Amino acid sequence: MSLRYKNIIYSVILILAVFLVWKYRQSKQTPLVAFTGKTMGPITYNVKYFDKDTRNFKPQVDSLLRIFNQSMSTYIPESEISQFNRDTAFQFGLPFFYAVLQNSRELYGLTKGAFDPTVMPLVNAWGFGPEKRMKQDSSYIDSLRQIVGFDKIKFDGSMAWKEDPRVQLDFSASAKGYGVDVVADFLTEQGVEHLFVEIGGEVIAKGKNIQLNAPWRVGVLHPDSDEINQFYIAIASLEDRAMATSGNYFNYYVVDGVKYSHTISPFTGYPIIHPLLSATVFAEDCMTADGLATAFMVMGHEKAIEMLNENPNLDAYLIYTDADGELTTYATAGIKDKINPVK
């Protein structure tokens, strides 16, 4: 090997070494800012981001989420959604209502009605809404189904209206995901490039965890988890993507040995009963991921897989029991290499 060729190799190695040292110092020099808080009642949020100026945006995030709740929360009597549910028309005041209506219309069509934010009367009837009352009379449930259907909601850029005042909206199936997007968008507007935002298990990650020079890592809860004992069935790697999970292992009750899930089918009016235990969806925005995860829980794993095959741009990780009662997982091709099972 000639001396000239050796010098070229040494120069390349030196340049690479200098670059790696620079990257390492950059990751060490850019501090991680992290904080947590409460929103949407008892729900915990977690925010992490890298910022060379170590700016703490917690006061702004708390304020933003309070305003967000004034639009989206059915538990606040004077929120925008509560006002709409009491009246036949409502003029938008905050910027959130119109955006979530647009997204809801898209998902309602895409899922052929499985995602339907007008299920609130049914949610209340089964004891999962703010009114906390439970009625199981079949004729009563059938009567409520007549006022369910997102096509009963009309809206334009300035207001929403309905012909039947009994029609009600409940955005809980996508509100946490939308809240994640709202916080992430705010941080991006402040010049933050590498961030992680989580609200009640719904997540968006932008850029990387630059301390590790790797994608952000998020756990997928095992279906046998409960509110006290929580453990993961898999770890997902996230970079410039959102992730949301819907399942029935927390929010349910048992009466006379029958388990009633909080996921209500808009088609039957009853809590869902099928082998799908958990649906995790990956998307560009968390509101869409959150809504689709709920829709897949309504559908069940067979129809969810059918829809995923028809829409190869969608990615999901499903956990269900097979005919023998064995725990089974399904991952779309787009995220198989980003899901690592926990041994």
Residue closest to 213 by CA, chosen among 22, 15, 21, 24? 24
Phi and psi dihedrals of 132, rounded to 5?
Answer: 50, 45
Give the pTM: 0.89
Give the per-residue pLDDT at 257. Answer: 67
Average pLDDT score over residue span 242-268: 81
Give the per-residue pLDDT at 129. Answer: 72
Domain count, the chain: 2
Contacts of 31 (CB under 8 A, 6+ apart): 50, 51, 52, 54
Q: Predicted confidence band at 19 (pLDDT cuts at 50, 70, 90)? A: low
Domain CATH number, residue 291: 3.10.520.10
Is 224 annotated in some ligand binding site? no
**Domain contains 325:** yes
| 110-125 per-position pLDDT tens digit | 999 999 999 999 998 8
- CB 222, CB 200: distance < 8 Å: no
**Domain contains 323:** yes
Torsion, CA 276, CA 280, CA 286, CA 292, rounded to 10:
-30
Give the per-residue pLDDT at 240. Answer: 98
**Domain contains 9:** yes
Q: Report d(CA 78, CA 333) in Å as an integer.
A: 45
| 155-183 per-position pLDDT tens digit | 999 999 999 999 999 999 999 999 999 99
**Domain contains 110:** no
Domain of residue 323 covers 214-341
List strand residue ranges (DSSP E) for 148-301, in order. 154-155, 159-161, 195-199, 202-206, 216-221, 232-238, 241-247, 252-255, 258-261, 276-283
Is 89 annotated in some ligand binding site? no
**Domain contains 206:** no
Give the per-residue pLDDT at 191. Answer: 98
Contacts of 168 (CB under 8 A, 6+ apart): 85, 118, 120, 121, 147
**Domain contains 198:** no
Give the per-residue pLDDT at 128. Answer: 81
Q: Predicted confidence band at 318 (pLDDT cuts at 50, 70, 90)? A: very high
Q: Predicted confidence band at 262 (pLDDT cuts at 50, 70, 90)? A: confident
Is 294 annotated in some ligand binding site? yes
Q: In the predicted model, is pLDDT for residue 205 greater than 70?
A: yes
**Domain contains 287:** yes
Provide the sign of the torsion angle of the four alpha carbons 44, 282, 289, 96, taken in this order.
Answer: positive
**Domain contains 154:** no
Give the per-residue pLDDT at 315. Answer: 98
Residue closest to 116 by CA, chosen among 86, 140, 144, 157? 144
